[in-house]
A and B are shown apart, each in its own frame.
Chain A
Amino acid sequence: MKKIVNRFLFENTKTIKVDIAIKIIAAFGILKTLIILPDLKFIGEFGLIKSAVNARHISWYQPVFNWFFEPFNYLGISENMTLLLFEILFIISLCCVFFNYKRIVFALISWFIHFTFINSTYLFSYGADYFTTFMLFVNLMFCLTYLANSANQKLLFSFVIRFLQVHLCIVYFYAGLGKALGINWFDGNAVWYVINGFTSSSTIESAIPLINYPIVFKIICWGTIALELLYPILIFTKKTRKVTLYLVLLMHLSIGVFMEFYTFGLIMILINIIAYGHYINWSLPKLKKRSVLKTDIA
């Protein structure tokens, strides 16, 4: 048993490089902040949802930007400027993480600022925000592997990848199980209602002719439940792991493009690539061979 656990968690398995994983998370964090930056005013005392309203939904041990407004105000820095400074610090921290400058310190700072941002905007937060917090937490674990020597670093990185892989299995399993408890994920209406309530009018118009073929909606619904419920098995089975990964990536791409949940779709794609990206052959086709063939034909 000890050997199995040891092999599963710490064996130096094939994974994507630790530096690439960290860079992916950092780049996503920067992009996510830049996207929301023009609307930063929605937080705080003069925002859409006042700090006092937000405070009703969070606990005292959850840090919020409100904690910093008063001391900064004492220094003559306004609320909006304080928010902007925190967001700039977040971007700088992730740049430092990206370029490998004091990674552990800046990974911790970036996680803390994002966590504070989510707590300060509780009623506005959704899946993408929570998965970003989780990924910044995992990023901190990735960065901590730099404390070890190079041999142990690989071993620790393998552990974090396993941690992420198993966490994803739990996430998908419960997502699938939740859908399997209802009714309309079995009769095809779930996807039909998603199209109606969450996609553009052009997508709805394209879907209307398919009403006469309800089996199309049923197959998508059944496929989603099966893929999510069986993900923990399929992703670890040699014969099915590649196709499972492609199908999950396709599912998140569809969520991003059709439902316009861009950041959610993107973060889920990136998490899957970090966890299982080594199943995909990323090498570019060998152009040299092609040119040789062309010369032969000529």
Chain B
Amino acid sequence: MKIIKKILASYFLIHIVLMMILGFSSFSYFKDDVTFNKLNPYGQAVVKKADEYRSPELIVDFIFLYSIYTGTNRGFSFFSPNVSASKVGITFMSNGKEIELPLKTQELALKFRCLNSHFNSNIFNIEEREIILKSISSYIFSNNTNLNQLDVYLDINKYPSLLISQEIGYQFYNKQILAFSITKNNDSNQNSVTSID
């Protein structure tokens, strides 16, 4: 039992150290210009330190592997460092009619919001954006065989701050813009997408 205790105590210590490195280094994701400018001075100093921090490659690989298998790989900074004042949703339309995604459960609707958030953060990454749109559109075309074209609208919601709401009343900005049009390839593969404009 003595040996088992020693092994467990060592594992305990390793887990704590790995989780602390993971938690701290995840702050380096706040280094992009938009996020960094919205940090307080103390936050900027911490993020700079996190960005400068480098672990040996072997340790980084081990942390990555261990965190994936234990479900701790996404870090712990939820709704940090700020909560966004805007929200962008995706709506699919065809001939002016909204095409509802077949999300039967509340849980999948919530999961779709996670996908939506990934899409929003990659909106200027053309390759990632098109791959995601093609995949979802192909799914919609498969479920709606009569459709030939899909228009993807971005629903932009921007919320007023507490101060602005106090001064001019509660008015939130909402705009729907046509972002992309997707056409189905009718020739070769019925469900594939030919173009995104």
Real binding pair: yes
Q: Report which of A36, A124, A163, A187 forms a contact with B15, defined as CB distance below 8 A.
A: A163
B71 to A175, Cβ gap below 8 A? no
- A115 contact set on B, CB distance < 8 A: 69, 71
- In the assembled complex, how far is the CB of residue B82 from the closest CB belonging to chain A, in whole angstroms? 4
Number of residue pairs A-B, CB distance < 8 angstroms:
202
A170 to B16, Cβ gap below 8 A? yes
Question: Contacts A163-B12, A174-B76, A261-B110; is A183 near B101 (CB within 8 Å)?
Answer: no
- Cα-based distance from A122 to B5 in the complex (angstroms): 36
Q: Is A48 positioned at the interface, with any CB of B under 8 Å from its CB? A: yes
B162 to A214, Cβ gap below 8 A? yes
B162 to A217, Cβ gap below 8 A? yes
Contact with B along A169-197 (1 / 0, CB 8 A): 01111110111111111111111111011
Q: Is B136 positioned at the interface, with any CB of A under 8 Å from its CB? A: yes
Q: Is A133 positioned at the interface, with any CB of B under 8 Å from its CB? A: yes
- A191 contact set on B, CB distance < 8 A: 83
- Cα-based distance from A167 to B43 in the complex (angstroms): 24
Q: Report which of A61, A130, A181, A194 forms a contact with B27, defined as CB distance below 8 A.
A: A181
Q: Is A263 positioned at the interface, with any CB of B under 8 Å from its CB? A: yes
B82 to A192, Cβ gap below 8 A? no
Most buried by B among A125, A167, A186, A193: A193
- B166 contact set on A, CB distance < 8 A: 211-212, 214
- Closest residue of A by beta carbon distance from B18: A170
- Which B residues fall within an 8 A CB radius of A? 1, 5, 8-9, 12, 15-16, 19-20, 23-24, 26-27, 30, 38-40, 42-43, 46-47, 65, 68-85, 87, 101, 103-108, 110-112, 114-115, 118, 131-132, 135-136, 138-139, 142, 157, 159, 161-163, 165-166, 170, 172
